């Protein structure tokens, strides 16, 4: 308690970094296990929580934010539990996935209300600072109901940042944003992470995580499947075997030609068409048109079979 | 005014369901004015309008709309997270919301009841009804506010309490009247302004003690429930 107020008094909230610790956290609903024995420790910087929909990311985030009691294990922020402990919100901010805003307020009123509820010494200044951080000054006096999805999201981020929390949790912050808004949000998260804050955002899109964070925690089916440096994990993901279904004017001839290719590890011919297994995604997709041209075969359809995130992730789990 | 009550008031009057509050009190006043101007005996129209409509329908229904609205509506649309992610002890959230709910209900109901009471008998009855319904507004609001934290269907459960428990069982099984806020309000109003129009079934001490118990008990329950407030998970 004393350290918290001391940090706030000095006005340098970045001075003391915060750590969010999860120790053997599980959560189940009846027979359904949503989160299964997850342990991790989050420190300063940006961390991506990656996983397909339904992997338990939101449940995990809710437990981190003190909005759900772990069925087993514990979540602590700087050693204090987040569940049933409103005091953690002095150091923690949450941007939930549900687009829930008081549409009848303007962004300024909304952020100012947050500042007041936090009991900040100068709520008006804090609100202006937070709105400037998300670059919403121009629209701050319009009702939130009139905003686009991306603007609402920024207003919510401003409200969550108004007390300059050490830890900011964001659930699918890029959902529904256009590319420009997305870029803007990514920059913001970068800046916050570089300033020594602990930022965790969840996403089910690989590329989003790649652009924002160096470290990732990958969740699959409620379990922590991988964690660490993004590039290492990405390499594991891209080097996995890929399966394609190919339809062409002469499947049999194409199968023969493909077997000679180094990037192809297997070919299967049946009535449905040609199923090709490739070890290298890039090499195969580059070589296929050349072979077709050479053999005088027209490729009618090329469908990657296992591009769903689930299959990418389940490969990762097995690896 | 605290920020919580400010947001609650803005939310209450910013939603369209607020308009639901207006017709019932209007009908109450309209019926009273009509009966009076047509020269109907107060003994004839008093009980059905004051009790049958005013205390049995207008007061609990308005309290239900407002009481489940101050927190329940925010839980429904998820905006409650904004208030909960603040380092506020949970009583600092529940009490302002209860004050708004009870205050809005009391004003909405007490004014038309007061007018109807004056028209039916005397200024004293009007004020008695207003005061007693304010007590009832607090008890109902505490009950419905707690309901919105105990169940995902607070309006339905509240209606069951008002219509089935107080309305149906209260008129058939006399024992249920001891647990009926409506009966407390009648008893209190009758005590302040004794007329032949109100028929209290519970004693005044019981009414006073039970009103206080319900108000405090459900408020404490609501605070405790809000401490363990869980956001619904994806799979539930």
Provide the CATH number for the domain around residue A16: 3.40.50.300
Q: Of A25, A16, A8, A24, which Cα lies nearest the Cα of A44?
A: A16
Residues A62, B231: C-beta atoms closer than 8 Å: yes
No. of H helices and E strands in chain B? 12, 0
Contacting residues of B for A159, CB less than 8 Å apart = 82
Asked if residue B85 belongs to a domain, the reply is yes
Mean pLDDT of A77-98: 94
Of B17, B85, B86, B89, which to mutate for an interface test with A (greatest number of A Cβ within 10 Å)? B85
| Whether residues A27 and A151 fall in one domain | yes
pLDDT digits (tens, 9 = 90+) for A51-66: 888 889 999 999 999 9
pLDDT digits (tens, 9 = 90+) for A2-11: 333 333 333 3
| Whether residues A92 and A207 fall in one domain | yes
State the pLDDT at residue B235: 38
pLDDT digits (tens, 9 = 90+) for B90-103: 999 999 999 999 99
CB atoms within 10 A of CB A34: 25
pLDDT digits (tens, 9 = 90+) for A124-154: 999 999 999 998 999 999 999 999 888 898 8
Asked if residue B214 belongs to a domain, the reply is yes
Give the global pTM: 0.83
State the pLDDT at residue B112: 97
Task: Output the six-digit token pair for A261.
Answer: 């290719």
Asked if residue B113 belongs to a domain, the reply is yes
Residues B6, A113: C-beta atoms closer than 8 Å: yes
Q: Which of A67, A102, A119 has the CB atom closest to B231's CB atom?
A: A67
Residues B231, A29: C-beta atoms closer than 8 Å: no
State the pLDDT at residue B30: 96
Closest B-chain CA to A96? B81
Which of A166-175, B139-148, B198-207 is predicted most confidently? B139-148
Mean pLDDT of B40-61: 94
A318 pLDDT more than 80:
no
State the pLDDT at residue A164: 94
Provide the CATH number for the domain around residue A276: 3.30.70.100
| Whether residues A79 and A215 fall in one domain | yes
Mean pLDDT of B56-60: 96
| Whether residues A260 and A226 fall in one domain | no
Asked if residue B192 belongs to a domain, the reply is yes
| Whether residues A122 and A40 fall in one domain | yes
| Whether residues A305 and A158 fall in one domain | no
State the pLDDT at residue A307: 55
State the pLDDT at residue A13: 44
Give the burial class of A180: count Cβ atoms within 10 A of its Cβ; 0-12 exposed, 13-18 middle, 19 or more buried.
exposed
| Whether residues A169 and A296 fall in one domain | no
Mean pLDDT of A259-266: 89
State the pLDDT at residue A7: 37
Mean pLDDT of A247-265: 91
- At a CB cut-off of 8 Å and minimum separation 6, what does A28 contact? A34, A71
Of A235, A266, A281, the residue that ends a domain is A235
Closest B-chain CA to A110? B7
In the block, which residue shows the tokens 């379990």? Answer: A223
pLDDT digits (tens, 9 = 90+) for A269-291: 988 789 998 887 778 888 999 99
CB atoms within 10 A of CB B42: 20
B201 pLDDT more than 80:
yes
Asked if residue B176 belongs to a domain, the reply is yes
Residues B78, A104: C-beta atoms closer than 8 Å: no
Of A113, A127, A160, A219, which to mutate for an interface test with B (greatest number of B Cβ within 10 Å)? A113
Say how many domains are in chain B. Answer: 1
Domain span including residue A78: 2-235
State the pLDDT at residue A314: 61
Q: Which of B86, B228, B230 has the CB atom closest to A118's CB atom?
A: B86
Whether chain B has a CB inside 8 Å of the CB on A102: the answer is yes
Whether chain B has a CB inside 8 Å of the CB on A73: the answer is no
State the pLDDT at residue A15: 47
Say how many domains are in chain A. Answer: 2
| Whether residues A113 and A181 fall in one domain | yes
| Whether residues A121 and A191 fall in one domain | yes
Q: To the nearest whole number, what is the mean pLDDT of chain A?
A: 86
Whether chain B has a CB inside 8 Å of the CB on A192: the answer is no
Rounded Cα distance between A42 and A33, Å, is: 23
Domain span including residue B179: 3-227
Q: Are A239 and A252 in contact (CB under 8 A)?
A: no
State the pLDDT at residue A8: 37
Q: Where are the alpha helices (DSSP H) in chain A?
A: 2-10, 57-64, 107-117, 123-133, 149-161, 179-194, 206-212, 230-238, 251-259, 281-295, 309-318
Asked if residue B26 belongs to a domain, the reply is yes
| Whether residues A144 and A292 fall in one domain | no
Residues A86, B88: C-beta atoms closer than 8 Å: yes
Asked if residue B200 belongs to a domain, the reply is yes
**Neighbouring C-alpha atoms within 13 Å toward the C-beta of A129:** 13
State the pLDDT at residue A12: 43
3-state secondary structure A31-51: CEEEEEEEEEEECCEEEEEEC
In order of A246, A257, A277, B122, the CA distances from A250 in angstroms are 10, 11, 18, 99
| Whether residues A27 and A94 fall in one domain | yes
| Whether residues A141 and A251 fall in one domain | no
- At a CB cut-off of 8 Å and minimum separation 6, what does A266 contact? A276, A277
Q: Of A64, A59, A17, which Cα lies nearest the Cα of A40?
A: A64
């Amino acid at each position: 308690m004393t350290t918290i107020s001391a940090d706030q008094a000095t006005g340098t909230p970045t001075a003391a970094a915060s750590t969010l610790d999860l120790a053997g956290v599980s959560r189940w609903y009846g027979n359904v296990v949503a989160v299964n024995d997850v342990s991790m420790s989050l420190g300063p910087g940006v961390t991506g929580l990656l996983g397909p929909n339904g992997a338990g990311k939101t449940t995990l985030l809710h437990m981190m934010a003190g909005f759900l009691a772990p069925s087993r294990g514990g979540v602590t922020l700087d050693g204090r539990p987040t569940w049933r402990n409103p005091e953690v919100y002095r150091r923690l901010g949450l941007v939930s996935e549900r687009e829930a805003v008081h549409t009848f307020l303007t962004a300024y009123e909304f952020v100012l209300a947050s500042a007041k509820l936090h009991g900040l010494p100068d709520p008006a200044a804090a609100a202006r600072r937070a709105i400037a951080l998300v670059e919403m000054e121009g629209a701050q006096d319009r009702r939130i109901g009139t905003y686009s999805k991306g603007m609402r999201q920024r207003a919510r981020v401003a409200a969550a940042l108004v007390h300059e929390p050490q830890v900011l949790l964001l659930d699918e912050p890029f959902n529904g944003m256009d590319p420009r808004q997305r870029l803007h949000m990514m920059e913001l998260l970068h800046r916050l992470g570089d300033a020594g804050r602990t930022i965790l955002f969840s996403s089910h899109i690989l590329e989003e995580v790649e652009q924002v964070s160096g470290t990732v925690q990958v969740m699959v089916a409620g379990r922590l499947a991988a964690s660490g440096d993004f590039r290492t994990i990405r390499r594991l993901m891209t080097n996995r075997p890929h399966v394609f279904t190919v339809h062409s004017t002469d499947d049999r001839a194409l199968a023969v030609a493909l077997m000679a290719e180094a990037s192809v590890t297997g070919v299967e011919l049946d009535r449905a068409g040609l199923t090709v297994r490739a070890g290298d995604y890039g090499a195969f997709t580059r070589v296929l048109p050349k072979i077709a041209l050479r053999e005088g075969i027209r490729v009618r359809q090329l469908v990657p079979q296992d591009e769903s995130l689930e299959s990418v992730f389940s490969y990762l789990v097995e690896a | 005014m605290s920020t919580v009550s400010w947001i609650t008031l803005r939310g209450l009057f910013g939603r369209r369901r607020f308009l639901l509050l207006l017709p019932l009190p209007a009908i109450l006043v309209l019926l009273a004015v009509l009966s009076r101007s047509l020269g109907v005996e107060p003994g004839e129209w008093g009980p059905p309008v004051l009790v049958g409509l005013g205390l049995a329908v207008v007061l609990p229904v308005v309290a239900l709309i407002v009481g489940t609205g101050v927190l329940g509506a925010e839980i429904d649309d998820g905006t409650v997270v904004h208030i909960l992610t603040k380092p506020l002890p949970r009583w600092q959230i529940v009490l302002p919301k209860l004050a708004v709910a009870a205050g809005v209900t009391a004003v909405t109901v007490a004014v038309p009841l007061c007018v109807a009471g004056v028209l039916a008998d005397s200024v004293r009855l009007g004020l008695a009804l207003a005061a007693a319904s304010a007590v009832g507004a607090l008890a109902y609001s505490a009950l419905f506010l707690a309901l919105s934290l105990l169940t995902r269907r607070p309006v339905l459960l509240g209606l069951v309490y008002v219509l089935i428990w107080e309305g149906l069982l209260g008129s058939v099984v006399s024992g249920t009247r001891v647990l009926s806020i409506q009966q407390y309000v009648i008893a209190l109003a009758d005590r302040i302004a004794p007329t032949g129009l109100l028929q209290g079934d519970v004693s005044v001490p019981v009414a006073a003690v039970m009103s206080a118990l319900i108000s405090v008990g459900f408020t404490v329950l609501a605070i405790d429930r809000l401490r363990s407030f869980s956001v619904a998970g994806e799979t539930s």
